[in-house]
Structure 1
């Protein structure tokens, strides 16, 4: 059975949602980053990176959202959360999730969660909005991230759309597609169950 070490409302939310969408049994353990629980010796012994998410599998611990989401989809193909027989579509999913993990996440995270001076914050806001604009105008196909099929990209994108809306970055007039996508993902029963489990609300 897989076990997810997660932080409430953090990027680990994506893996938690995918676990719930799959429907197979899994275990959860919350890691309080503010309390420094990710620095405990027992956690570092499992994941020297000292960060969440960590998915403990039958093979050992797995880190990084892009890898965790791909592993869960590949080991549960019946859930239909990733292409299984189309190399191009599979590469598109990897590309989308890779951009979220390597570009959107670090920029919006720095803007919203790091102590920045006024000028640095203004500059970081511009960079973050440019990343979100790429998603809105070019990457988000609709109605789901990659088109008609819901995939691992959808809960992952939803994490950052959620942060963006909370941070006042997702103006409905400027980002209508991302707002619609966020609302659609949040309305899914599996997502609502995860919100209840983590004690967070839709935004």
Structure 2
């Protein structure tokens, strides 16, 4: 049995959606950020980074969203969550790596400034910049990250739950999502999927 350590509203929900898509049974364990459970020694035994997600398997614990999504896809090949075509698979990962290296980092500057600075004025400056940087990321995704209703056009892949969670942060980051019709169509398509509806029914979203 797989065990997913998650927190609602965080990128860990991308893995939950992928697990539902793959029809892989798993236990969901909520990490309580309100009590800073992720900073405590007990959780550090699971994930020494003190972050979510963490996926406990019978072969050990995996961390980092991209790795978890790839593991889910490889564990349920019949679900077709990674395209067999090499170029399409690379296009999928191109978006995923952009989300990990740029868009997620842009978002983190709003509330996680202590990862990069120590002074309050630095935190304030980073927070003030977030609407601009997240709007720029949304514009990039709008122009280059969506080939159709999903990242790869009509084909669903593990890039889609990743993008879905991050695009769910846009409004809170001061971005007017209505300015991006492709992202709006993508979010509608994702919200209609059974996997997303299941995650929402379980209070994960």
* TM-score in terms of structure 2 length: 0.89
Can you give the 5+ residue segments of structure 1 that lack an aligned partner in the other structure? none
The CA deviation string for residues 68-117 of structure 1, in whole angstroms up to 9 with x for no partner, is 0011001111111112x322222222221111111111102323665842
Task: Provide the C-alpha distance between the structure 2 equivalents of 1:124 and 1:19, rounded to a whole number of angstroms.
Answer: 31
The CA deviation string for residues 115-159 of structure 1, in whole angstroms up to 9 with x for no partner, is 842x54333321221111110111211111111101111111111
Task: Provide the C-alpha distance between the structure 2 equivalents of 1:170 and 1:141, rounded to a whole number of angstroms.
Answer: 21
| 1:95 corresponds to | 94
124-133 or 175-184, which moves further after superposition? 124-133
Question: After TM superposition, which residue ranges in structure 1, 4 or more long, deviate above 6 angstroms?
Answer: none
Q: Shift of the alpha carbon at 1:16?
A: 0.5
| 1:131 corresponds to | 137
The answer on 1:111 being equivalent to 2:116 is: no
Q: Secondary structure at the match of 1:182?
A: helix
| 2:188 corresponds to | 183
* TM-score in terms of structure 1 length: 0.90
| 1:80 corresponds to | 80
Q: Report the CA distance shift for 1:78/1:170 in structure 2 as closer, same or farther (over 3 A).
A: farther
Task: Provide the C-alpha distance between the structure 1 equivalents of 2:183 and 2:192, rounded to a whole number of angstroms.
Answer: 14
Task: Provide the C-alpha distance between the structure 1 equivalents of 2:4 and 2:79, rounded to a whole number of angstroms.
Answer: 18
Q: Shift of the alpha carbon at 1:56?
A: 0.7
- Check conservation: 2:131, 2:174, Cα contact below 8 A: no
- RMSD value, Cα: 1.8
| 1:192 corresponds to | 197
Can you give the 5+ residue segments of structure 2 that lack an aligned partner in the other structure? 114-119
Q: Report the CA distance shift for 1:120/1:56 in structure 2 as closer, same or farther (over 3 A).
A: closer
Q: Secondary structure at the match of 2:69?
A: helix
Task: Provide the C-alpha distance between the structure 1 equivalents of 2:167 and 2:11, rounded to a whole number of angstroms.
Answer: 11
Task: Provide the C-alpha distance between the structure 2 equivalents of 1:182 and 1:194, rounded to a whole number of angstroms.
Answer: 15
| 2:117 corresponds to | none
| 2:116 corresponds to | none
The answer on 1:7 being equivalent to 2:7 is: yes
- Check conservation: 1:111, 1:128, Cα contact below 8 A: no
- Check conservation: 1:158, 1:185, Cα contact below 8 A: yes
